[in-house]
Chain A
Amino acid sequence: MRRDLSFFQLYLGLVAGGLALLGLLMSLPTFGNAPLLALFFALGGASLMRLLAPFSLWLDGLLAVLGAMGLLLALPVGQAMPLHHWLALIAAWAFAWLFVERLSAAIRAGSLPETGTGLVIPVTFGLALLVIWEVVTRGANVPPVLLPPPSAIGARLMAETNILWADFVQTFIKSVLPGYAIGCLAGLAVAILVDRSPFLKAGIMPIGNFMSALPIIGIAPIMVMWFGFDWQSKAAVVVAMTFFPMLVNTVAGLNAASAIERDLMRTYAANYWQTLMKLRLPAAGPFIFNALKINSTLALIGAIVAEFFGTPVVGMGFRISTGVGRLAIDLVWAEIAVAAVAGSAFYGVIALIERGVTFWHPSVRGGRA
């Protein structure tokens, strides 16, 4: 038995190679129809040689890519996929799994650097998901209304960039960003006020709690009545949603400075604002950024859902709700894709700023407290 592979990896390799060999046999009657797929079957079967000789993990990755490409090119149009295509899908998936498994083991063992190669794993995972989605929806003839293949969504994304851009501007630039900024700043300011006055703490914290418990589908129509159909009402919903997480986190964060750190300020006879600016706010940084990150995703969800309750004829939520009604499901998915990318990017930007600002925190610098 080979030493460089774990039992599980060996098992995966056997399954992948065996399925490829089986696929090769089953595709013999239609040999020549899909040369790339046949090549994948042949090479995949040949990978069983790993029992005898070392087999690079990059070859496993290459096999997975080859299988995916052969399969995508050979997909039949308008009819169900033959059995050996399914075998190819499972085999390619097993090769991809084996590749990622061996790659992460190599990173853990230190034989490969983490930077760069660490990125390969999530990318492989995402691509595998897309390929499986594409092959299953097209191969099994899933009705596009239920789930369109990613290629159709991509095509719609390309064809409707104007609409998608207009929706993005309406929802993200006009509703999310102002609402997010106002909600977070207000939460921060009120937290500082609340922290200073026990009276406000007793009065405002329960109201904040109450606000956070309000269902968004309840406040959205009310905000539309108060602020009109356009982006202002969506921004107001976002304000209501982002305010409370910021308030609670900042109030907690303002108490994060240790007793010694505060005593120190007292020995300097520092006044309230000096202590706030030089000690308590910096110490609250990790808490504040936590709230900023939570709010970055909450804000987008809030704005999109709020658009279901009255909006001008533009906006991501509007497009999704009308798209479902018109059975333009691929447009709905394209909109979802835009929302996912925008939300992740927003979160990513905040996380990057966090790394820069709270560089000193053990969770960022990876050290001890």
Chain B
Amino acid sequence: MSVVQAMDLGLTFPAGDGDVVALKDVNLTIGKGEFVSFIGPSGCGKTTFLRAIADLEKPTSGTLSVNGQTPEEARRARAYGYVFQAAALYPWRTIEKNVALPLEIMGYGQAQQHERVRATLELVNLTGFEKKYPWQLSGGMQQRASIARALSFDADLLLMDEPFGALDEIVRDHLNSELLKLWDRTGKTICFVTHSIPEAVYLSTRIVVMSPRPGRVTDVIESTLPRERPLDIRETPEFLEIAARVRDGLRAGHSYEEEHV
């Protein structure tokens, strides 16, 4: 069964000086256990699509289903964990309390909360930082804590909106390889928005290339890379070939844009 299915999906933001078409005719099916990256220049609707899956935006046309339900039903069923561009940890809560936040809201018992917080913090290598406050941690650690928070209630779908965009490259590489391991271990379905080509190619089983005005899918690239990916896979010809395809796809989207300028 597909986890996410979009058919002729469109989303238009009304604006004073003419409507903004954020998404137009998007058709996409994401299967269970896939790691799908969305890449494209800003304004291509990749974040909007992710937010539509999360029921944070309402599509204006077409159909979108998550786990066979409407996005709203899926959200109410707590079908996904969402990682935002910023860590958005609540500064008045310690790291463990931040990770426990969704568990508190969803009504987990104290013992269960404690066990899950311990397990997910271990998963993102933050054991020992339970009692720290977010502002006492580095940006990379904060983002890891926010990933732990999204994982703590064990939803099968993980939506990640440029989670490492604000981090430096060394930290980003490190978190990328950790994310891959985590995906491998948990078997979750991951939708990952990025504007970095190497990041998209390195992480994904499938890369969705998007272009702006109106936001639409211009290419979907299946990755031929093996599941096991050490960091130096990025120097292999296979990797570079996929990266070149993605770059071509992005360029095609851009030339379309330039025709209209």
Q: A interface vs B, CB < 8 Å? A: 258, 260-261, 263-270, 274, 278-279, 282, 285, 358-362, 365, 367-368
Contacts and interface: CB of A to CB of B under 8 A. Distances in A.
A258 to B, nearest CB: 7
Contact of B105 (A263, A270, A285): A270
6 contacts: A260-B86, A269-B78, A279-B90, A360-B135, A361-B91, A368-B135
Given A278-B104, A360-B135, A365-B135, A261 B90 contact: yes
Contacts of A279: 90
A261 B84 CA distance: 9
B43 to A, nearest CB: 18
B210 interface: no
B133 interface: yes
Given A261-B90, A269-B75, A365-B135, A278 B105 contact: yes
Nearest to B97: A278
Given A264-B84, A360-B133, A282 B90 contact: yes
A260 B78 contact: no
Contacts of B140: none
Given A269-B76, A360-B133, 17 more contacts: A260-B88, A261-B90, A263-B56, A264-B82, A266-B56, A267-B81, A268-B102, A268-B106, A269-B78, A269-B105, A270-B105, A278-B101, A282-B90, A285-B92, A358-B92, A362-B135, A367-B135
Query: Chain B: interface residue count, which band?
Result: 20 to 34
A263 to B, nearest CB: 6
A258 B56 contact: no
Contacts of A365: 135
Contacts of A368: 135
A268 B78 contact: yes
Nearest to B103: A268
Contacts of B145: none
A263 B91 contact: no
Contacts of B88: 258, 260-261, 264
Contacts, number: 53
B164 interface: no
Given A267-B54, A268-B105, A360-B133, A260 B84 contact: yes
Contacts of A360: 91-92, 133, 135
B90 A267 contact: no
A261 to B, nearest CB: 5
A274 B105 contact: yes
B35 interface: no
A362 B56 CA distance: 29
A126 B135 CA distance: 38
A118 B88 CA distance: 36
Interface string B75-118: 11010111011101011100000000110111000000000000
Contact of B82 (A267, A270, A274, A282): A267
Nearest to B87: A260
A268 B85 CA distance: 17
Kindly name the residue among B54, B75, B80, B88 whose own CB sees the greatest number of chain A CB atoms within 10 A: B88
A353 to B, nearest CB: 15
A274 B101 CA distance: 10
Interface of B: 54-56, 75-76, 78, 80-82, 84-86, 88, 90-92, 101-102, 104-106, 133, 135
Contacts of B86: 260
Contacts of B135: 360, 362, 365, 367-368
A365 to B, nearest CB: 7
A360 to B, nearest CB: 4
Nearest to B134: A360
A223 to B, nearest CB: 39
Contacts of B90: 261, 278-279, 282
Nearest to B85: A260
A360 B91 CA distance: 6
Given A268-B102, A270-B105, A282 B84 contact: no
A361 B133 CA distance: 11
Contacts of B133: 360
A285 B92 CA distance: 10
A261 B146 CA distance: 12
A156 to B, nearest CB: 47
A368 B136 CA distance: 11
B56 A282 contact: no
A11 to B, nearest CB: 45
Contacts of B84: 260, 263-264
A258 B89 CA distance: 11
Contacts of A260: 84-86, 88
Contacts of A274: 105
A268 B54 CA distance: 10
Nearest to B149: A264
Nearest to B75: A269
A149 B162 CA distance: 69
B84 to A, nearest CB: 5
B75 A267 contact: yes
Nearest to B76: A269
A260 B105 CA distance: 17
B155 to A, nearest CB: 10
Contacts of A267: 54, 56, 75, 80-82
3 nearest A-B pairs in the assembled complex, by CB-CB distance: A360-B91, A260-B88, A267-B82
